[in-house]
Amino acid sequence: MTHPPTPCSCPKGSILLKDHLPKDQFEEVTQRRALEYKKHQARTNSSLSILLLAPSNSPLQYPIQGFTVRPLTPTTIPGLALHAGRKHSYKVFLKVSHGVLSTQDAAEGVKVEGNGESGLVMESMSLVDLNNLLDKVTYTSTIYHIHTGDLAHFLFEGHEAVFPIVIQQPSPPLLYDLGKNISSQVTITTKTFLRYDELKMLVSSIRRFYSDIEIIIADDSFVVEKISGEHIKHYTMPPAQGWFAGRNLAVSQVTTKYLLWVDDDFLFTEETKIEKLVEVMEAVPELDVVGASVTGNQFFFSLLYEEGVDGGCLDRKSKGKFNPLPNFPQCSLASGVVNFFLARTDAVRRVGFDPKLQRVAHSEFFMDGLGSLLVATCSHVSIGHQPKASSRKDKDHNRYNSFRQPAAKDQELKLQLHFFKNHLKCIRYA
């Protein structure tokens, strides 16, 4: 089944998101959300989502997994056969919904009806001849769709089998040339706002260990101070656009296979070995994000999500993680990590950062990527954090602090966004 018929259960201590919607807009927003969710289901579900149960003790042989066809392209159905006891005559039926079935010209004594149609009937006194014909049956989809499916029904006497046919347009791979050194493999990305002293200290620490690695800076300060130098790209934005908008800008300019995300007040040290994170990613190609530690401390969390007809239930657990990563005992799988992580550039772009979230954001990227991003956290790589500039009294520092703490309306916006965009009923931050 693609969707449970009952509501999910909110964990104790959850925030009920409906309570954070304006009461005079609740009905209208809920109706719009329901309509949008219905469209989402139509976009993401297909006949391939239907639960299929294999018949017991069936004489029918058929493909149960891995049969994929290109749209509108005749493709032989592999493995079709009938294994039945001795009979006077053998008669099988095949039928589909989104395509047509064809076979070669029948041998003498074999009867075929519906060739080139959605239903195909084959009958023969010879089981060998019938199986030879079944071996040549092709399926051709009659609709163009980049990723959908069909269900084929295969019948003999009182036996019926149903098997899936994946209709998918193949896409060319996106490959990155790793080159010969770390500079051709990784780009360092950061976002800054009114913190040029910290940013300069970060850049200086990077150059101490990586002299020619590319650094991309997204900057939405009110008065821009140009940051220049070899292998530095400084992109400016309209003022105070927010963290996620800046992340999107920085990531959009990356040309390497991997990006390393750092905050502008971090500090590279002898323990900041990017190569070790690349080693993990290259050894486990399924990974999308690998987080490390900040000042020797790991920050990671798990996300437990349960679907529900009236909205999902999400439980974020700090320090929650899953099984260790094979061959890397210092790493474990998790749902989200700290702001110091190495990621596959194409995977990050695929999820993206919602620019509506300006100041209350980080976990939200991993929430949007849940089920899409495979994330790990590792303890053997660390980055430093600059001392807090509490003694500074300059105008930019004071102005930064006024933006640093989000207003109550920012929190409300985030909860309202979870209600609609993520179709959540409740969320717990544990």
| Residue 227 confidence (pLDDT) above 50 | yes
Tokens for 183, please give them.
Answer: 């500079």
| Residue 295 confidence (pLDDT) above 90 | yes
From residue 275, how far is each of 53, 217, 230, 332 by CA, in Å?
47, 21, 21, 18
Model pTM? 0.87
Looking at the domain 51-168, which fold is it? Immunoglobulin-like (2.60.40)
Q: Mean of the pLDDT values across residues 75-80?
A: 96
Yes or no: is domain 182-429 CATH 3.90.550.10? yes
Backbone angles phi, psi at 25, to 5 degrees: -115, 0
Helices (H), 75-188: 127-134
Beta strand segments in 158-257, E: 159-168, 186-192, 214-219, 232-236
Q: What is the pLDDT of residue 406?
A: 61
Q: What is the pLDDT of residue 299?
A: 93
The pLDDT tens digits of the residues spanning 35-69 come to: 999 888 887 777 777 777 788 889 999 999 899 99
Residue type, 282: E
Q: What is the pLDDT of residue 80?
A: 97
Determine contact, residues 293/338, Cβ cutoff 8 Å: yes
CA dist 426 and 18 (Å) reads 8
The pLDDT tens digits of the residues spanning 323-369 come to: 999 999 999 999 999 999 999 999 999 999 999 888 767 899 999 99
Q: Mean of the pLDDT values across residues 253-276?
A: 97
Same fold for the pair 51-168 and 182-429: no
Determine contact, residues 72/100, Cβ cutoff 8 Å: no
Predicted confidence band of residue 133 (pLDDT cuts 50, 70, 90): very high
Determine contact, residues 287/280, Cβ cutoff 8 Å: yes
Mean pLDDT of the chain: 91
From residue 207, how far is each of 129, 155, 201, 212, 358 by CA, in Å?
74, 69, 10, 7, 29
CA dist 408 and 330 (Å) reads 39
High-pLDDT (> 70) share of the chain, %: 94
Sheet holding 99-102, edge to edge: 75-76, 138-141, 99-102
Q: How many helices (H) does the chain have, and how many strands (E)? A: 9, 27
Predicted confidence band of residue 1 (pLDDT cuts 50, 70, 90): very low
Predicted confidence band of residue 430 (pLDDT cuts 50, 70, 90): confident
Q: What is the pLDDT of residue 53?
A: 79
CA dist 426 and 99 (Å) reads 42
Residues facing 349 on adjacent strands: none
The pLDDT tens digits of the residues spanning 369-406 come to: 999 999 999 999 999 999 976 545 565 666 665 556 66
The pLDDT tens digits of the residues spanning 135-163 come to: 999 999 998 999 899 999 999 999 999 99
Residue boundaries of the structural domains of the chain: 51-168, 182-429
CA dist 161 and 55 (Å) reads 7
Pairing of strands 424-429, 312-318: parallel
Q: Give the orientation angle of helix 408-420 with respect to helix 26-44, to 10 degrees.
A: 50
From residue 76, how far is each of 141, 149, 230, 358, 408 by CA, in Å?
12, 16, 57, 52, 60
